[in-house]
Structure 1
């Protein structure tokens, strides 16, 4: 994690988590000033030219309507009967000139700097993060007034963007919900103009409309995957499968007395499972099973060599570390390791997001390079870490 990313993420702690988070918007002026060069127009040109960005990953919108892909994509069929699409720059430029804005989803999967920002946010908020890129050239609202089914952290990279914020018309709406939020009919609650280097937080379900002010604009929207009470109850039902009550058939054709007894027993067991620490247990479960962003360690397909110059990094930002004076427990990528406490300094550095050489890890922990390589081999074999040459 770079100092600029660290500074931006620190702004999202403290009073923000206790106050605005999940409740209201918040604007930070120049909190991400160091990130203005994180992703550039040259980066965008390179991604469009070098990657297969089929619809819907790459989309154009103009005044609330999606531009038909055939207006800027060329479709061909390979000799293996595979349909491929590539961007036609002239068509892309033509649509942008006509007022379209460009959206590129999951840029964190394509760009190392944006991936580093997303991982830092995942470590901070303990949830998966996807970063989408938005490029605008005109003061046209690409999507109109709309809401998102996840909280968002917006980083303005270049230019300025006007955000009209209307608030929520339904508390914490879901994409698959029993009721759709009603569109707001009044004026916005707030108008925020983001300048390059600013950050904005918008809660899930808040209606908003966005447009560039003057000239071109480039920003990242980092979406935070929600973990709702519905998710917790689904997980809890799985945890309760050891109970005969949960495994038994529901007494649908039984008499009233048997139905009542079943409901009372079910209520009792669920209430006991909803103890004071259930949220912490659920959060730990989510962290422990998160696969992160697995990466290969080629050419090292077996044991990691005891090369002090090799770099080791965890591939999940949500690894957790705990332990006692005798042992330390690492949970990452769906696996758990109980290790000697001597490896704690090395693991603490890795869990914080550091990329360190085997030699540096050995020095921090007092282990030999061979011992650190053995630890690396175990983590790599379980898709929890990757090794690489220094960059």
Structure 2
């Protein structure tokens, strides 16, 4: 391995947020902010090795240079809103130069979806380059239609075998067409985006060792910011693929526990006027919250102003 690194190589670690608690916190913050799925990859390059050849991605990419330097060649797109599974291939690179330069430690580069790009290292004095890429996978009309097709499974009409009888095909077509139009009308794109955020199951997180004690500080770790609705004097929480109903008087506690910031349970009790531990226990059991570890806590340092974020009151 030492000889390989010394000769020059690019190492790629996909899904770094699964393994590193600090990157997990940063990735989750971007998910909550953007409302989109985000994956973080790490690229370590030694000597003058190159990375991927000139290519495009079907998602926006935010690049953060952590150490060393890297040369970037960013070009325009050759197809509007391209997809990897597309109607036509998108294989010929653009000759339109958008930006060519060197990214240095602390600098950030945004590459929109479909833009051709390549990262290289040529004649740099520093032996190592390290950068992270945050990939924002946005939903499209194709994703919406795919979701509608999944909802169609609830109706027997769409689960029924298609006829092979010429005499019955026209009536079948009319029934399916009318039902499909009604589904499209009743399930707009906004409903798809809301359902996606509510039903997304909890992500895998950096594992923690089991403890004999309940956590004193917890933090919400859902993929997207939880949804909370009021209904007949109760609060309905949609988060991490779960639906939890609690009394309306717990609104202040829910606002704290699902804020995305670490919450000291003793301080929270003093602030809201009742013991929040039973509610926190439910959220932890359902995977909506986790106990804060020192490693995970490090990821929140500096993200929230006004003192230590998990000390309330």
Measured in 2, the distance between the counterparts of 1:349 and 1:389 equals: 18
Does the 8 Å CA contact 1:319/1:331 hold for their aligned counterparts? no
Q: Residue in 2 aligned with 1:23?
A: none
Pick 1 or 2: higher relative contact order, CA cutoff 8 A, min separation 6.
2
Measured in 2, the distance between the counterparts of 1:99 and 1:187 equals: 30
- 1:348 and 1:177, CA in 2 relative to 1: closer, same or farther beyond 3 A? same
Aligned residues: 289
State which of 258, 262, 268 in structure 2 corresponds to 1:351.
258
Q: Residue in 1 aligned with 2:146?
A: 234
- What displacement does 1:220 show? 0.3
State which of 247, 271, 288 in structure 2 corresponds to 1:384.
288
**Which of 349-358 and 110-119 deviates more?**
349-358
Measured in 2, the distance between the counterparts of 1:141 and 1:363 equals: 56
- What displacement does 1:211 show? 1.9
Secondary structure at 2:176 match in 1: helix
1:314 aligns with 2:223: no
Q: List 4+ stretches of structure 1 deviating above 6 A.
A: none
List gaps (5 residues or longer) in structure 2.
Answer: 298-313
- What displacement does 1:365 show? 2.6
Q: Residue in 2 aligned with 1:183?
A: 92
**Which of 232-241 and 133-142 deviates more?**
133-142
Does the 8 Å CA contact 2:73/2:100 hold for their aligned counterparts? yes
For residues 1-391 of structure 1, the aligned pairs below 5 Å read 72=1, 90=2, 94-184=3-93, 186-212=95-121, 214=124, 215=126, 216-255=128-167, 258-275=168-185, 278-290=188-200, 291-293=202-204, 298-300=210-212, 310-324=216-230, 326-368=233-275, 372-388=276-292
Measured in 2, the distance between the counterparts of 1:389 and 1:108 equals: 15
- 1:350 and 1:292, CA in 2 relative to 1: closer, same or farther beyond 3 A? farther
Q: Residue in 2 aligned with 1:81?
A: none
Measured in 2, the distance between the counterparts of 1:376 and 1:346 equals: 9
Give TM-score scaled by structure 2 length: 0.80
| Aligned alpha-carbon RMSD (Å) | 2.7
- What displacement does 1:277 show? 6.2
What per-residue deviation string (whole Å, max 9, x for no partner) do you get for residues 159-208 of structure 1? 33332112222333333444321221525333253232222222233211
